[in-house]
Amino acid sequence: MKLSPSKIKTLLKQNRLDALFITNQHNVSYLSGFSGLSPEEREGFILLTSKKMYLLTFSTYFGLFRQIDDIHCLCISPSQRLSYHLQSIAESENLSAIGFEKTNLTVSELESLQKKVTVDWIPVSNIIENLRIIKTPEEISKIKKAARITDEAFNFILKHIKKEETEKEIALQIEFFLKKKTGDIAFSPIVAFNTGSAIPHYIPSNSHKLIANSLILLDFGAQVDGYCADMTRVIFFGKPKPEFLNIYNTVKKAQEIALKSIKPGQKTQIPDIKAKEYIKSQGYPKYLHGLGHGVGLAIHEAPRLKTESDEIFKENMVVTVEPGIYIEGTCGVRIEDLILLKDKGIEILSKSTKDIIFI
């Protein structure tokens, strides 16, 4: 269990709650230490009270959850539904105000709970997410391992890219390698040739075949015990156009400028501003996404490295730094590293070379 009883009491008191109902599956994983939940499903719930942490799940997971120390596990069944357990806990602990995650619970779910569980339901946001921003040594160890295996996947795919292969075929090779090494992927790998690389979150195609003198963008990451890595590299198959090389060098320089401006106490908007200013000064359009994002149990989480952000870099945050140049109908170049904030600077966890690679 990530939170001590005293920490739970403090959180509840700060938010004027008797209990906190957790539905976000990443937050359930964070608090329980169980990484097998699907973010898209409702497989487990947590209710934090000043006395206990209750974990409510179905028979499919109950046998696993009940083995977790310091957590009181309850099984949801047709005769004892989620609302039944919540109402029973509310009565036994005399709860009157329960907070719910307003960015995760649907309207219909909330309406159902309000009808069946007689407490005041209070909307809250980012209580657990704010705890997840600062990684523990155990979390950092898992992320570092995921980054190391991501580097291994890059070295692997460099040796296996062949002419006439499709984007999808290369993506599947990366995915198979990562799953064989770690059991899962952080997200579906992105492989984009030439004009496709101008779309940041491109979907690999089975109809686009690799031809001579092409640019290839590769964006992927391993997942270790639920914790993610994220890296992007651009390589060249044959002899690229001189403009492609100029774009690549511009992005690489922009990333170097951004990395130098990251340190604890600095606003997360600063490196984004600096990278975009440099790209614009070289005559290219500024990328429209933020410079980066936090990485942990979710591939995209707080903090956000973007111009509009007022967040501050803190020690033991893990974030990406990924400037890019995207020119529709021509190409896109993005270089992305995973970094760890240290007490006085950063540690780059992505070790794969950023020198220009020709294969």
Q: 250: closest CA among 272, 279, 273, 271?
A: 279
* CA separation for the pair 351, 226 (Å, rounded): 21
Choose the weakest-confidence range: 9-23, 61-75, 204-218: 61-75
pLDDT band, residue 3 (cuts 50/70/90): confident
Q: Tell whether 119 and 256 lie within a shared domain.
A: no
Residue 27 half-sphere exposure toward CB, CA atoms < 13 A: 23
pLDDT of the residue at 257: 98
pLDDT of residue 183: 81
Average pLDDT over all residues of the chain: 95
* Cα 214 from Cα 332, distance rounded (Å): 12
Residue 120 shares a structural domain with residue 183: no
Same domain? For 103 and 168 the reply is no
Q: How far apart are CA 40 and CA 320, in angstroms?
A: 23
Provide the pLDDT for residue 239.
92
Q: Are residues 172 and 83 in the same domain?
A: no
Comparing 66-70, 226-230, 252-256, 309-313, the range with the smallest average pLDDT is: 66-70
Tell me the whole-structure pTM to 2 decimals: 0.94
For 105, the token pair is 């619970």
Coil, helix or strand for 104? coil
Q: Under DSSP, is residue 279 helix (H, G, I), strand (E, B) or coil?
A: helix
**Per-residue pLDDT at 165:** 98
* Max Cα distance, the chain (Å): 72
Q: Using the predicted structure, report yes or no on whether residue 1 has a pLDDT greater than 60.
A: no
Among candidate residues 70, 105, 132, the one where a domain is terminated = 132
Q: What is the pLDDT of residue 315?
A: 98
Q: What is the mean pLDDT of residues 321-344?
A: 97
CB atoms under 10 Å from CB of 111, counted, come to 11
| CA angle (295, 300, 301) in 5-degree steps | 70
Q: Are residue 127 and residue 145 in the same domain, yes or no?
A: no
The two three-digit tokens of residue 151, written as one number: 């580097």
Sign of CA dihedral 270, 274, 277, 283: negative
- CATH code (residue 84): 3.40.350.10
> From the CB of residue 304, how many other CB atoms can be counted at a distance below 10 Å?
19
pLDDT, tens digit, 9 for 90 and up, residues 123-169: 999 999 999 999 999 999 999 999 999 999 999 999 999 999 999 99
pLDDT at 266 over 90: yes
What is the band of 66 on the pLDDT scale with cuts at 50, 70, 90?
A: low
Residues 199, 117 share a domain:
no
| Rounded alpha-carbon distances, angstroms, from residue 149 to 25, 171, 182 | 25, 16, 8
Helix and strand numbers, DSSP H then E, in the chain: 10, 19
Q: Are 182 and 146 in contact (CB under 8 A)?
A: yes
What letter does residue 197 receive in the DSSP assignment?
Answer: G
Whether residue 65 is predicted with pLDDT greater than 80 in this model: the reply is no
Same domain, 158 and 86: no
pLDDT of residue 38: 81
Q: How far apart are CA 106 and CA 164, in angstroms?
A: 46
pLDDT at 318: 98
Report the pLDDT averaged over residues 297-308: 97
Which three-class secondary structure state does DSSP give residue 311? coil
**CATH number of the domain where residue 192 is located:** 3.90.230.10
Task: Let me know whether 169 and 91 are in one domain.
Answer: no
| Residue 358 covered by a domain | no
What's the pLDDT score for residue 68? 67
pLDDT band for position 337 (50/70/90)? very high
Q: Give the torsion through C-alpha atoms of 130, 304, 308, 101, to 10 deg.
A: -40
Does 359 map to a domain? no
Evaluate whether residue 356 is within a structural domain: no
Give the pLDDT score at 251.
98
Confidence at 62, pLDDT banded by 50, 70, 90: confident
Q: Kindly list the strands in the beta sheet with 301-305, ordered across the sheet, starting from the edge strand earlier in the chain.
A: 301-305, 292-294, 318-321, 337-341, 346-348
Q: Which of 132, 164, 187 corresponds to the end of one domain? A: 132
Count other Cβ atoms within 10 Å, centred on residue 277: 12
What length is written for the chain?
Answer: 359
Query: Given a cut of 90, is residue 317 above it in pLDDT?
Result: yes
Q: What is the pLDDT of residue 258?
A: 98
Cα 98 from Cα 83, distance rounded (Å): 13
Q: Are residues 18 and 108 in the same domain?
A: yes
Last residue of a domain, one of 132, 153, 173: 132
Number of domains in the chain: 2
Is the pLDDT assigned to residue 189 strictly greater than 90? yes
Amino acid 194: pLDDT: 97
Enclosing domain of residue 29: 5-132
């009270």: which residue's tokens?
49
Instruction: Please check whether residues 291 and 192 belong to one and the same domain.
Output: yes
Looking at the structure, do residues 224 and 250 belong to the same domain, yes or no?
A: yes
Span of 48-57, 65-74, 218-227, 289-298 with lowest mean pLDDT? 65-74
